[in-house]
């Protein structure tokens, strides 16, 4: 009799254990599993080794099994793999560099203007069960007075399987209030008083519009502008963050869910 009871209960216990194990797995599996790709190359202009074109890539790829992998490659690498993307970028800069070289004559002084470089880095900035935020930064110098830097953010809503914009997290009709918060943050960054035109702090315009180059983290929503976008080069990249508590009344239902998720 005891054996019959044990045989009856045991399958149920094992089934319950299996269910619990399956329920706990998604939390672990939701973490990004990356493949890293790093490469450095030097293209010397002459036999002396300098000047040269220096290229460096530090890239990430999501494993193919990751549900976000196809979207990630599409957004960050134009649908290519990290290796294919790096090879394409290398060839573009190599071709341009050698074309410029062809304009020099034997014995010409190449000078510092031919010490070119190009670097690209892709990193994960924020990850939660609901969202992933990736950052892609590139820096290059191809002659002239100074180099250039560009940084782009990609915000992925994981359940929806798509990139999201600010309209996804901000409710309809709140765009004006968000714009005001952004401009206030920029004034504060430039040590300007309330309502002061941003031009008083060196900006190109008296006020700025919402940029879609943004990121999310546990502290709020950040907005980024590269050099030359809203200020002169010497002021560098501009980035401000609006704390979640200041956005409380502006968030859409999706925005509120993301905020809870990031806490």
Q: Provide the CATH number for the domain around residue 197.
A: 3.90.640.20
Query: What's the confidence (pLDDT) of residue 101?
Result: 82
Token match 């100074």: residue? 146
Residue 125 shares a structural domain with residue 201: no
| Strand ranges (E), the chain | 34-44, 52-62, 116-127, 131-141, 148-157, 162-163, 214-217, 220-225, 238-243
**3-state SS assignment for residue 1:** coil
CB of 138 closer than 8 Å to CB of 120: yes
Residue 89 shares a structural domain with residue 199: no
Residue 54 shares a structural domain with residue 148: yes
CB of 21 closer than 8 Å to CB of 14: no
Residue 39 shares a structural domain with residue 146: yes
Q: C-alpha distances in angstroms, 72 versus 27, 100, 146, 183, 201? A: 20, 34, 31, 31, 37
Residue 4 included in any domain? no
CB of 118 closer than 8 Å to CB of 55: yes
Tally of domains within the chain = 2
Mean pLDDT value across the chain: 87
Residue 24 included in any domain? no
The per-residue pLDDT for range 85-108, each reduced to its tens digit, is 999 999 999 899 888 888 887 777
Find, among 258, 84, 250, the residue nearest to 176 by Cα: 250
Residue 221 shares a structural domain with residue 146: no
d(CA 217, CA 241): 10
Token match 């892609």: residue? 136
Token match 């709020």: residue? 220
Residue 73 shares a structural domain with residue 175: no
Residue 18 included in any domain? no
Query: What's the confidence (pLDDT) of residue 14?
Result: 37
Residue 16 included in any domain? no
Residue 153 shares a structural domain with residue 253: no
Q: Provide the CATH number for the domain around residue 95.
A: 3.30.565.40
pLDDT over 60 at 167, yes or no:
yes
Residue 41 shares a structural domain with residue 143: yes
Residue 5 included in any domain? no
**Number of residues written out for the chain:** 263
Query: What's the confidence (pLDDT) of residue 241?
Result: 97
pLDDT over 50 at 179, yes or no:
yes
Residue 77 included in any domain? yes
Residue 20 included in any domain? no
The per-residue pLDDT for range 8-51, each reduced to its tens digit, is 433 443 343 333 333 333 344 567 788 999 999 998 877 666 78
Q: Which two tokens stand for residue 37?
A: 């790709």
Residue 174 shares a structural domain with residue 147: no
pLDDT band for position 2 (cuts 50, 70, 90): very low
Query: What's the confidence (pLDDT) of residue 145?
Result: 83
pLDDT over 80 at 3, yes or no:
no
The per-residue pLDDT for range 157-166, each reduced to its tens digit, is 999 899 999 9
Query: What's the confidence (pLDDT) of residue 110?
Result: 74
**3-state SS assignment for residue 19:** helix
Residue 25 included in any domain? no
The per-residue pLDDT for range 106-137, each reduced to its tens digit, is 777 777 788 999 999 999 999 999 999 999 99
CB of 135 closer than 8 Å to CB of 152: yes
Q: Which residue has the higher pLDDT, 187 or 22?
A: 187
Residue 147 shares a structural domain with residue 35: yes
Which domain, by its residues, includes 105?
A: 30-160
Final residue before a domain boundary, out of 128, 144, 160: 160
The per-residue pLDDT for range 207-257, each reduced to its tens digit, is 999 999 999 999 999 999 999 999 999 999 999 999 999 999 999 999 999
Mean pLDDT over 48-65 rounds to 89
Could you give the angle at the alpha carbon of 263 between the alpha carbons of 215 and 258, nearest 5°? 55
Residue 53 shares a structural domain with residue 155: yes
Cα torsion 95, 98, 102, 103: sign: positive
Residue 55 shares a structural domain with residue 91: yes
Query: What's the confidence (pLDDT) of residue 30?
Result: 60
Final residue before a domain boundary, out of 137, 160, 183: 160
pLDDT over 70 at 75, yes or no:
yes
Final residue before a domain boundary, out of 143, 160, 177: 160
């Amino acid at each position: 009799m005891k054996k019959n009871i044990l045989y009856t209960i045991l399958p149920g216990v094992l089934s319950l254990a299996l269910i619990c194990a399956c329920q706990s797995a998604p939390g672990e599996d939701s973490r990004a599993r990356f493949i890293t790709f790093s490469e450095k190359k030097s293209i010397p202009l002459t036999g002396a080794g300098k000047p040269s074109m220096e290229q460096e890539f530090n890239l990430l790829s999501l494993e193919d099994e990751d549900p976000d992998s196809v979207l990630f490659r599409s957004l960050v690498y134009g649908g290519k793999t990290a290796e294919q993307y790096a090879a394409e970028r290398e060839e573009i800069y190599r071709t341009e560099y050698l074309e410029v070289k062809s304009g020099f004559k034997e014995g010409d002084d190449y000078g510092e203007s031919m010490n070119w470089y190009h670097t690209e880095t892709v990193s994960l900035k924020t990850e939660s069960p609901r969202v992933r935020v990736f950052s892609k930064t590139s820096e290059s110098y191809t002659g002239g007075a100074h180099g250039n830097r560009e940084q782009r953010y990609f915000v992925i809503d994981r359940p929806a399987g798509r990139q999201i914009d600010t309209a996804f997290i901000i409710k309809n009709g709140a765009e004006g209030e968000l714009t005001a918060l952004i401009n206030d943050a920029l004034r504060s960054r430039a040590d300007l008083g309330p309502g002061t035109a941003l031009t008083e702090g060196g900006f190109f315009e008296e006020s700025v519009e919402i940029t879609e180059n943004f990121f999310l983290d546990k502290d709020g929503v950040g907005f980024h502008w590269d050099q030359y976008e809203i200020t002169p080069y010497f002021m560098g990249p501009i980035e401000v963050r609006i704390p979640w508590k200041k956005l409380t009344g502006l968030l859409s239902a999706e925005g509120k869910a993301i905020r809870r998720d990031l806490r």
